[in-house]
Amino acid sequence: SFLSWLADLSILNFFWLVCCIPVVTAGASTTALYRVTLNLADQRGSTVAKTFFSEFRSNFKQSTVVWLLILLASAVLCADFILIWNWDGIAKMVLLVIFMFSVFIVLCVSAYIFPLIAYFDNTVKNLLKNALLLGIRHLPKTIVMIVLNVFPLLLFVFLPNLFVYIGFIWLLFGFSSIAYINSVLLLKIFKNLPAVSA
């Protein structure tokens, strides 16, 4: 059972990486990733390939819109950071606090939004609102998920040699494993919410 589970994660990791290559499709790929990991966490015996590509197609438009909004918000934050860094005095400190809060909001929404798309039928507006509200309401779990989500990026930026050294982990099942851990946490939250489309 363990080897079968590990094989599913490995196959899923490969599908996710390949479907993220065009960049613009990363949102749909992440939604499909979470649909499968939510099934695995819930011990549902669905086929990885069939479920992944079915969800990729059915949620492509909504996931892509959300993904582009996240990319836009991230680009604005990067531009803001460059501008803020060139300031001096107390104004810089105040703006940095506002900047860090804004980064947390984006990371918070990003942690919930694609699993929500995979698990619920709703409008983009409501999904974004619910992602933020759930992130704040379940703050301890949100922090855990954010740390897991940004860990590969932080490792790549601050310890690139180590990132490359253990690169085979990311290629085999690193990203899908993170999504699976997040899904275990998210299932406990989602099952207490109404209007589930599982």
- Side chain identity at residue 159, one-letter code: L
- The answer to whether the beta carbons of residues 104 and 136 sit under 8 Å apart is no
Q: What is the C-alpha separation between 163 and 87, in angstroms, rounded?
A: 33
Tens digits of per-residue pLDDT, 17-64?
999 999 999 999 999 999 999 999 998 867 899 999 999 999 999 999
Residue 7 makes CB contacts below 8 A (sequence gap 6+) with none
pLDDT in tens, 86-108: 887 788 888 899 999 999 999 99
Kindly report the pTM of this predicted structure: 0.92
pLDDT tens-digit series, residues 122-153? 999 999 999 999 999 999 999 999 999 999 88
Mean of pLDDT values over 152-181: 88
Helix, coil or strand: residue 196: strand
The pLDDT value given to residue 169: 83
Three-state secondary-structure class, residue 78: helix
Cβ atoms 32, 118 nearer than 8 A: yes
pLDDT bracket for residue 198 (50, 70, 90):
very low
The per-residue pLDDT for 177 is 95
Contact assessment for residue 65 and residue 123, using Cβ atoms and an 8 Å cutoff:
no
Comparing 5-9, 125-129, 169-173, the range with the smallest average pLDDT is: 169-173
- Which pLDDT score is estimated for 115? 97
Whether 130 and 122 have beta carbons less than 8 Å apart is answered as: yes
Radius of gyration of the chain (CA): 17
- Average of per-residue pLDDT across 183-191: 94
Q: Side-chain half-sphere of 131: how many Cα atoms within 13 Å?
A: 28
Residue 142 · residue 108 · CB < 8 Å? yes
What's the confidence (pLDDT) of residue 195? 56
Q: How far apart are CA 146 and CA 150, in angstroms?
A: 6
